[in-house]
A and B are shown apart, each in its own frame.
Chain A
Amino acid sequence: MTLQTPPETRSKQDSPAALLKLRGISKRYGDFAAVEPLDLDIFPRDFVAVLGPSGCGKTTLLRIIGGFVSPTTGTVEIDGRDVTKIGPEKRPTNTVFQGYGLFPHMTVRQNVGYGLRLQKKTRAEIDDRVAEALRQSRLTEFADRSVAALSGGQQQRVALARALILRPKVLLLDEPLAALDLKLRHTMQDELRRLHQEFGGTFVFVTHDQGEALSLANRIAVMNAGRIEQEGNAESIYAAPATRFVATFIGDANLLQGERHGGQVKLEAGPAFADAGPDGAITAVVRPKAVKLLAAGEGADVQIAGMVEDVVYLGDHIKCSVKIMGEQQIIVHLDAAIAPRPVVGEQVNLGWPLLQQRVVVA
């Protein structure tokens, strides 16, 4: 591994305190594996994003945690208790569903109080806690409205309040912001962060939006085709992607194919360098920001010559596409103030340090 992994805040070894433990969880529908066997630990007060493209099995995984789907193999443990065989009505989890699942025949207040009424709490306790939850979610003024009369963002807050009022050990959210328009999405992101802090609970949310995952979560599990390809904090996933998929899914990345032989890597585009690891096909991953335009005589760990194909000014940076050997392209993000600006057709030398490059298998 060429890049120093940023320090992980914790590792699997010190996991006695894990609140939610998935072990060998998988789900098959006939011949189709929606979730391949996987392990996952989630710790108290974590805000975890399960991030992946549509159809990769995120919702299925979340529903397994919530008890709506029984896994084909594996166990779900929450707070030291095996809940695999326990239905959602008895699990210490609550869910904010993708369509919210609000009860249209009840007012906001009745929706929020539903869980407490089922628990047969006293009228006074229900009233108090509902009022408090409504206040926290800034819904007090809508308390006696029908939920059908609310906007998308307000409906979402009702769904959140209705789930949080039961003080779940783990709150599960399925694409919580997907149905909202862009502006509202940012407001709700702040809202979710605030609720997470005020509530002090453990949140797990599913999303296909990397920006959302990076901005909300302190831990990210990247899923692809039913597998968790990498799990860690946002920085380590961005800086040290474990697979080609993770590298492309989170942030922009230049991918360069190559071959490793006896600790020596040779990229198809030309450069060679030392990198320990098993023999076989590899991909070198380098972020556009890490690539430099080399001045004459300047050197770098990895160097490639190419021709500028396109230069776009994007305000905070300049995006420059450089064509290299074999019809490949490398995207470079340059300082917006760079002078002189590269021009289309210009021959340039690109380079980057090994430390800013990540080599992944295949």
Chain B
Amino acid sequence: MESRSNYWLVAPSALIFCALFIAPMAFFAVLSFWQVEYFELSTEPTLANYRDVFANYWRVMGFTVVVATATALLTTALGFVFSFLARFRAVEWAQALLFIVLITLFGGYLMKIYAWKTILGNEGVLNSALLALGVISSPITSLLYSPQAVVVTLMHFSLPFAVLPIYASMRGIADSEVEAARDLGAGRWPILSTVIVPRCQSGIVAAFSFVFLIVGGDYVTPLLVGGKLTMIGNLIAPQFGAQFNWPLGAAMSIVMLAAAVIVIYLFRLLVALWSRQ
């Protein structure tokens, strides 16, 4: 039995967690039941904001969840492959591979967005190359300013957040576990599905969650590479600025958060189901 006094050791982190996470969330939750009328904040509890969200914003909300889920699935898969290579296939290159992934974090957010603008634009790298190779005769205009462009850009941005937790959990798999599986008759696929994936469950779920939350809350990428595309972040941000409707913004955030919790929970369930022996 741990001594009870040991719990005090987590007090500082608990305090920081409360101050930076729980308190603002609680404030938002309360705020979402208030209302702004004629630039006045009324503290009369009301569900009006939520009615507004479900009546007028469900399309954008749904679209955001779809984009975030797709991006999170693709990025988690890519992150898994990347981590797998670094951990099991190119072990001597693992340090270099991880360094590359991490260094792109320092490249910054806008840098990546503009990089993809340069690659995907009408006169961009990809179109120029395809034109020069004679694969196409006129630029593919739908490359940039499309949902795909948003997904690709966000994948690039969030890949490190997927690689790190997955690689960390793969490092916990001993070589002898994989060798034992082979020894007991497992080919490549059974090793992956019955040993590696189940052993990385927490890393995979963490990766998916990070990416989903990054994408779900993003409002810059759609603006710059998404064209007319709107995600919920694009509607939430102005509520705290030009629109000056904090309660509506808070309600949107809370609904989005609930959606995120549900999707992440379902994903977790899926991974757990996969990993069941």
Contact = CB atoms under 8 A, between A and B. Distances in A.
Interface of A: 66, 68, 87-90, 93-95, 97-106, 110, 114-115, 118-119, 159, 162-163, 166
A110 B185 CA distance: 15
A95 B180 contact: yes
B198 to A, nearest CB: 5
A114 B190 CA distance: 11
B183 A89 contact: yes
A102 B185 CA distance: 15
B199 to A, nearest CB: 6
Interface string B215-238: 000000000000000000000000
A66 B277 contact: no
A105 B185 CA distance: 18
B179 A68 contact: yes
Most buried by B among A66, A93, A110, A115: A115
Contacts of B214: none
B172 to A, nearest CB: 9
A312 B110 CA distance: 80
A94 B183 CA distance: 6
B187 A89 contact: yes
A118 B185 contact: yes
Contacts of B176: 97-101
Contacts of A162: 180, 184
B51 interface: no
B180 A102 contact: yes
B180 A97 contact: yes
Interface string B72-88: 00000000000000000
Contact of B174 (A87, A101, A115, A159): A101
A166 B181 CA distance: 13
Given A97-B176, A101-B176, A115 B184 contact: yes
Closest CB pairs A-B (n = 8):
A101-B176, A101-B180, A115-B184, A97-B176, A118-B185, A99-B176, A110-B277, A105-B198
* Interface bin, chain B: 20 to 34
A104 B200 CA distance: 12
A119 B185 contact: yes
Nearest to B200: A105
A336 to B, nearest CB: 46
Given A97-B176, A98-B176, A110-B277, A104 B182 contact: no
B195 interface: yes
Interface of B: 174, 176-187, 190, 194-195, 198-199, 201, 275, 277
A213 to B, nearest CB: 23
Contact of B182 (A87, A100, A166): A87
B183 A66 contact: yes
A313 to B, nearest CB: 46
B45 to A, nearest CB: 47
Given A110-B277, A118-B190, A103 B183 contact: no
A143 to B, nearest CB: 13
A99 B183 CA distance: 14
A100 B180 CA distance: 8
Given A101-B174, A105-B198, A105-B275, A118 B180 contact: no
Nearest to A99: B176
Given A106-B277, A110-B277, A118-B190, A101 B177 contact: yes
A286 to B, nearest CB: 43
A55 to B, nearest CB: 19
Contacts of A94: 183-184
A97 B199 contact: no
A228 B178 CA distance: 30
Contacts of A101: 174, 176-180
Given A103-B195, A105-B199, A110-B277, A118 B179 contact: no
Nearest to A162: B184
Contacts of A97: 176, 179-180, 183
A39 to B, nearest CB: 25
B177 to A, nearest CB: 5
Contacts of B181: 103, 114
Nearest to A66: B183
B61 to A, nearest CB: 36
A115 B185 contact: yes
A66 B186 CA distance: 14
A88 B174 contact: no
A102 B177 CA distance: 6
Contacts of A102: 177, 180
B182 A118 contact: no
